[in-house]
Structure 1
Amino acid sequence: MIPREIFKKIRHIQIRTSHKVDEMLAGNWHSAFKGRGIEFEEVRPYQIGDDVRAIDWNVTARSDQPFVKLFREERELAVHLLVDLSGSQNLGTSTQTKRELIVELGALLAMSAIKNNDKVGLTLFTDGIEKSIPARKGSRHVLRLIRELLYCEPIGTGTNIKQALEHLSRVSKRRTVVFLISDFQDSQYERALKVAGRKHDIIPVVIADPREHEMPNVGLVRLQDEETGEIITLDTSSRRNRDRFAELYRLQTETRDNLFRKLRLLPIHLETGSDIVEPLHKYFHQRENRS
């Protein structure tokens, strides 16, 4: 049984998210994700104007008239949220932390999938797999996913995207639409991303905070790495230090984005304190046009 105060918070997120789904995303989701392919439905007698390439010669040979095969688009999708809960997600220098942004995003994507009658699953990871929930349908299932996004207390603090992608390949046997939600503060995951991309439809969602690319001038500060625990003292009044900080971020971002381009992945970029609906709306349009 979920405690009342926790249930109220989950329901609040669900209700707030459902409005955004209704207003902006339901139609876009349907058009951006086309299902797994074409599925045979039935045969019927040939009619003038039918494509002769659709004639079922086996059935025709057993009958006294030609028959054609009918197909329908298989609409049901399997969607999976692969979510990074490493220590760096606790950063938040605006109106929300990266973890809070991830919760809102995860709820929005799960609600969109369920509204389109798709299955949705969830894997939470750090430098290990923290929680894995198989894809299912239904509003009760969405409530469970939101609860895990809100209240999962990860054991690990680091990031291992490679391990998360390998885990996904083991548990998802069919082709899946995968939202890989992370700040991508990791390395050596390139091959795993390439391999996973051959089987699944991978959508990188890059989560960032403004202070990660722009250091303010606030004098001497003590900074702690949330993933490693390392503490350093930094003079932020030094222009050289601020420029070096910005350059390191630029290089990291450039390396990541070059990888996405090389693998022909279309990422979504989200930042704390900013609207998330419009970037998703824009992405779904780009994806539809790209298809």
Structure 2
Amino acid sequence: MALAPQARAIINPPGQIPPGALAGERVSRQQGRGLNFDSLRRYQPGDDVRLIDWQATARMRTPWIRLYNEEKERPVFLLVDQRLNMFFSTCGQTKSVAAASIAGLLAWRSLHDGDRLGGAVFGDRDYALRKCRSPTSTLPVFFDDLVRYNHRVADDYPHEKPGALSLAAILRHSLPLVPAGCWVALISDFHDLDNECDALLAALRRRGEVSAFVTLDDLHLRLPSHGRLAARYAGQETTFSLSPSLQNGVKQSVTARLAAQASRLTRLGVQVNQIVVGGDLLRQLQQGV
């Protein structure tokens, strides 16, 4: 509930027309001729013949065309990763908590804008899918999904092992529920981005705008040059000594991986927003969205 007023600070998501192009609190995506009938007028040379109203033309014995209002509704579909790999951070909040908070802000934004809202929240074993419906009806159940999966990933760690539900699988299950003209926000660390994901993201991109919110911890930028570092994952523990060369190697490796990931998504037409989970999420969303 505390995120509701903060969400008003997020403006002009991807795919929107520049401010001032349309009236209203938030400009919205133009969708072709629109679907809302407005009025009839006489046909003029150069008009699209597909707009001719044949009944009115037959009745008036001269060509008339149908005019439509511009469609201002833009469905929003949020995919939120709450798998075991998201339960990680070295300061502040975990990636799973940051992902849930980002989803909450974007969901409230859809309510403020009156956009239809749908989404998928997924863990290692299963997922919850919601069709795009009125935000007033979708928001409570979507938030319930977020809370349930977010608590479960914390409760399962460290006993649970990463499951078989891949990013490609959740994209495949979600694709039929994403309507044309939709804005899709995918919130994950994208650790298992693969060729199948590329094909599915390309299919989503053909239906509308797609944004990737890549959650990451910036430890690689904060590593000291000396000392000992302890790491634990899936029941395995290790410690090792840091050195300037190792510090630099870790920094270069992680930076290169994130850059390659961003380049791969960008080539698919996906807008990439890298979110540092220890930073101010709202400020990063304002800068990226």
The normalised TM-score by structure 2 is: 0.78
| 2:229–2:240 contact (8 Å) kept in structure 1 | yes
Deviates more, 1:230-239 or 1:81-90: 230-239
Residues 1:46 and 2:52 aligned together:
no
Deviates more, 1:272-281 or 1:154-163: 154-163
Aligned residues: 264
| 1:220–1:233 contact (8 Å) kept in structure 2 | no
Residues 1:34 and 2:29 aligned together:
yes
Residues 1:21 and 2:26 aligned together:
no
Residue by residue over 1:96-150, the C-alpha shift from the partner in whole angstroms, topping out at 9 and shown as x without a partner, is 2222212221111001111211121221224454222223224453233223212
Residue by residue over 1:27-74, the C-alpha shift from the partner in whole angstroms, topping out at 9 and shown as x without a partner, is 667656415442251442439xx7751573633343055533211122
Q: Output the aligned Cα RMSD.
A: 2.9
**What are the within-5 Å matches in structure 2 for residues 124-163 of structure 1?**
124-139=121-136, 141-152=138-149, 153-154=152-153, 157=162, 160-163=166-169
Q: What is the identity, as a one-letter code, of the residue corresponding to 1:199? A: R
Q: 1:179 aligns with which of 185, 190, 212?
A: 185
Higher share of residues assigned helix: 1
Q: What is the identity, as a one-letter code, of the residue corresponding to 2:10? A: L
| 1:162–1:193 contact (8 Å) kept in structure 2 | no
Aligned equivalents of 1:31 and 1:230: distance in 2? 48
Residue by residue over 1:191-248, the C-alpha shift from the partner in whole angstroms, topping out at 9 and shown as x without a partner, is 33223322342211111122155434573343123xxx26242324222332222222
Aligned equivalents of 1:79 and 1:266: distance in 2? 15
Q: 1:171 to 1:53 in 2, by over 3 A?
A: closer
Q: 1:230 to 1:195 in 2, by over 3 A?
A: farther
Aligned equivalents of 1:266 and 1:67: distance in 2? 42
Q: 1:97 to 1:51 in 2, by over 3 A?
A: farther
Q: 2:202 aligns with which of 183, 194, 198?
A: 194
Q: 1:143 to 1:26 in 2, by over 3 A?
A: farther
Q: 1:249 aligns with which of 251, 254, 269?
A: 254
| 1:123–1:129 contact (8 Å) kept in structure 2 | no
Aligned equivalents of 1:60 and 1:177: distance in 2? 38
Aligned equivalents of 1:126 and 1:218: distance in 2? 37
1:168 counterpart residue number: 174
Question: Once superposed, which parts of structure 1, at least 4 consecutive aligned residues long, lie more than 6 Å away?
Answer: 27-30
Q: What is the identity, as a one-letter code, of the residue corresponding to 1:53? A: D
1:209 counterpart residue number: 217
Aligned equivalents of 1:33 and 1:162: distance in 2? 29
Aligned equivalents of 2:182 and 2:53: distance in 1? 34
Aligned equivalents of 1:201 and 1:144: distance in 2? 24
Deviates more, 1:248-257 or 1:235-244: 235-244
Q: 2:52 aligns with which of 50, 53, 56?
A: 56
> Structure 1: which 5+ runs fail to align?
1-13, 285-291
Residues 1:270 and 2:264 aligned together:
no
What secondary structure, in the 3-state scheme, does the structure 2 residue paired with 1:257 have?
Answer: helix
| 2:76–2:183 contact (8 Å) kept in structure 1 | yes
Post-superposition offset of 1:172: 3.1
Aligned equivalents of 1:151 and 1:120: distance in 2? 19
The normalised TM-score by structure 1 is: 0.77
Q: 1:200 to 1:57 in 2, by over 3 A?
A: closer
Aligned equivalents of 1:136 and 1:118: distance in 2? 9
Residues 1:93 and 2:110 aligned together:
no
| 2:110–2:135 contact (8 Å) kept in structure 1 | no
Q: What is the identity, as a one-letter code, of the residue corresponding to 2:178? A: S
> Structure 2: which 5+ runs fail to align?
17-24, 154-159
Aligned equivalents of 1:27 and 1:171: distance in 2? 24
What secondary structure, in the 3-state scheme, does the structure 2 residue paired with 1:255 have?
Answer: helix
